Amino acid sequence: MKAIVLALACAAGSAVLAGCSHMPPNPKDDTKFQYLLDRHPEWTENKVDTLPALPSQQDLIPFEVSQNTPLHFAIDGKSLSVGSDNVIRYTVVITSPSGARNVNYEGIRCDTYEWKLYAGLNADHDGWDRTVANDWTRIENGNLNAYQAALYQDYFCESKVPTGKANVIVEHMRQHRTARSQM
């Protein structure tokens, strides 16, 4: 009886070992292995076919970038949107001490810390110019005029996602409720 049990145990052991022969020959070969958190779903940007109206002075919401910059920064509250692609799109108005203005329609991606220029104010100051558009670019930190970094960190993004819907972000900006002031 012991011989039969021993023979069955050996047969079962051989079957288990035979099943292991289907494993890769080199267990250190992990070229096909991918950590769950390293997987990035395919992201598709929403098409920007229409641009917002040019900003009106009464719709501008000023925000702080640096106490050392002479420029003044504001967002057009009516233009701010959060797309289904999680891109926050907005019109920014940058004004110099002499009154010169740059007006851009841009977007920020919270998940990648990037920004994109869709259009700028044309030379006649009566419409948008799409020829100045650029592709997604890493947001710059640390310079006096890093307004995209200020928007990302203070109002738009938290934990790589938008802080809320457009109306929530606009209200926080109007009340000057930055991420730091809410801690």
Give 42-75 pLDDT, tens digit per residue.
Answer: 889 999 999 999 999 999 999 999 988 999 999 9
Query: What is the value of pTM for the model shown?
Result: 0.76
Is the pLDDT at 168 greater than 50? The verdict is: yes
Residue 142 lies in a domain: yes
Average pLDDT, the chain: 85
Task: Report the amino acid identity of residue 164.
Answer: G
Residue 44 lies in a domain: no
Residues 6+ apart with CB under 8 A from 119: 51, 104, 105, 128, 129, 130, 132, 133
Residue 77 lies in a domain: yes
Nearest to 116 by CA among 38, 42, 40, 43: 43
How many domains is the chain built from?
A: 1
Residue 74 lies in a domain: yes
Residue 16 lies in a domain: no
Residue 113 lies in a domain: yes
Which band of pLDDT confidence, cut at 50, 70 and 90, is reported for residue 124? very high
Residue 30 lies in a domain: no
Domain region containing 131:
59-174
Which band of pLDDT confidence, cut at 50, 70 and 90, is reported for residue 39? low
Is the pLDDT at 135 greater than 60? The verdict is: yes
Residue 27 lies in a domain: no
